[in-house]
Amino acid sequence: MTEVIDGEAVAADVRAGVADCVDTLADAGVTPGLATVLMSDDPASETYVSMKQRDCEEVGIEGIHVDVDADASAATLFETIDELNGRDDVHGVLVQLPVPAHVDRREVLRRIDPEKDVDGFHPENVGRLVAGDARYKPCTPHGVQKLLAAYDVETDGADAVVIGRSDIVGKPMANLLVQKGPGGNATTTVCHSHTSDLESKLADADIVVAAAGIPEFVDGSMITSGATVIDVGINRVDADTDRGYELVGDVAYDSVADVAGAITPVPGGVGPMTRAMLLYNTVKAAGRQHDVDVDLP
Ligand code: NAD
C-alpha cells in the first residue's frame, strides 16, 4: 500500500508547537511579529501574502503588512525594509517575491536584516545553511525535511534526487539532504534543465523531490518501486472548473502512486508545510532577538 503523506496534519502539529512557543514568548513579555511587504499587483502574490497574515493571526503572531506601489522606486522599497529592520516589534521581515523587474531581487534580499530574514534567503543565511550551521532554513525545503521525519522516511544513507536547482527550493533542499546530521546524510543528486538522462538518475532513488515547475513531469515509469516521492510543484492548468483552472503538482499522482512507497498529494502535501515553517522561523527569530528559549516543534 502506498502511504499518502498528509501535509495538512503535519502542518497542524507544527502550528500547535508554534502556538506553544508564542505562549512561552508571551510569558517573557514578547509578542512575535512578522512583517510582509508586497510590491506587486499580481493577484497570486496578494493571495500568498494574505494567507501568511491569516496564518500569523491563527497562532498569535502579530502580522504587519506594508504595500509598496508596484511603480515606486527601488529606494522606496529599501526605505520600507530599513524601517521594518529597525522596529523592535518586528522579528521577521519578508518581501513577497517576485519584485518588479526594475528592482534588483538580490539587493532586496541583502537589505533584510539577516536576523529578521525568516525566508532564509539573505546570502549570510544561505552561507550558514551550506556550512551546516543554519539560522533560518528556507520554508519549503525545511517543510519537506519535517514531512520526511514525520513519516520516518530514512534519509541517512538514502539515495535522494532533487529535481530543480532554484535558490528557494532545489538548492536549499539538496543542501539540507546532504548535511551531516538528522534529516540529512543522504547521497544527493541535483537534476535540472540541463541534466541529460534524468531517468537514469531517478532509477535508484529512494527519495525524489520534484520541484521543476512542470505539470505532471514525473510519472510512474521513472520511479523505482517503494520510493518516497515528494511533490513540491504547484502548477495551474486549464480545467473545466468554476475557476477555469486546477492545481496540479510536478508528479503524475495516479501513475506514481501505483509504484511509490509514499507520496505527497497536491494540494495538501508540501504547501501547508511551507506556510507552517514560516511561522516556525518567526517564533525562532523572536526568541533569538529577545534571548528567550523557545521549544521549537
Ligand atoms: P523555478 O522555475 O525557479 O525552478 C525550476 C527548476 O526546475 C529549475 O532549476 C530548472 O533547472 C528545473 N527544471 C526545469 N526543467 C527541467 C527538466 N526538464 N528536468 C529537470 N529539471 C528541470 O521554480 P521553483 O521556484 O523552484 O518552484 C518549483 C515548483 O515548486 C513550482 O511549481 C512552484 O510553483 C512550486 N513551489 C511550491 C511551493 C510549495 O510550498 N509547495 C513553494 C515554492 C515553489
For the stretch 225-251, pLDDT in tens is: 999 999 999 999 999 999 999 999 999
Q: List, in sequence order, every residue forming a beta bridge with 141; answer none if it has no partner.
A: none
Q: Which of 279, 261, 269 is nearest to 17 (CA)?
A: 279
**Pocket flag, ligand 1, residue 122 (CB < 6 Å):** no
For the stretch 176-206, pLDDT in tens is: 999 999 999 999 999 999 999 999 999 999 9
The answer to whether residue 96 is catalytic is yes
Ligand 1 mean position, distance from CA 265 (Å): 16
Domains 26-114 and 139-271 equal at CATH topology level: yes
In which residue are the cell numbers 506594508 written? 66
pLDDT at 136: 98
The pLDDT of 136-159, averaged and rounded, is 98
Q: Which CATH superfamily is domain 139-271 in?
A: NAD(P)-binding Rossmann-like Domain (3.40.50.720)
The answer to whether residue 289 is catalytic is no
- Three-class DSSP category at 204: coil
The pLDDT of 124-141, averaged and rounded, is 98
β-bridge pairing 235-238 and 245-248: antiparallel
The pLDDT of 143-148, averaged and rounded, is 98
The answer to whether residue 119 is catalytic is yes
Contact 63, 53 (CB under 8 A): yes
The pLDDT of 209-216, averaged and rounded, is 98
Index of the ligand 1 atom closest to the CA of residue 275: 40
Cα–Cα distance for residue pair 265/251, rounded to 1 Å: 9
Delimit the domains of the chain by residue range.
Answer: 26-114, 139-271
For 294, residues 6+ apart whose C-beta sits below 8 A from its C-beta are 21, 24, 25, 283, 284, 286, 287
For the stretch 9-48, pLDDT in tens is: 999 999 999 999 999 999 999 999 999 999 999 999 999 9
Ligand 1 mean position, distance from CA 233 (Å): 7
Percent pLDDT > 90 in the chain is: 100
Contact 144, 273 (CB under 8 A): yes
Ligand 1 mean position, distance from CA 58 (Å): 29
pLDDT at 174 over 90: yes
pLDDT at 42: 95
The pLDDT of 41-59, averaged and rounded, is 96
Query: What is Dmax (Cα atoms) for the chain?
Result: 56
Please tell me the pTM assigned to this model. Answer: 0.98
pLDDT at 1 over 90: no
CATH of domain 26-114: 3.40.50.10860
* Averaged pLDDT score across all residues of the chain: 98
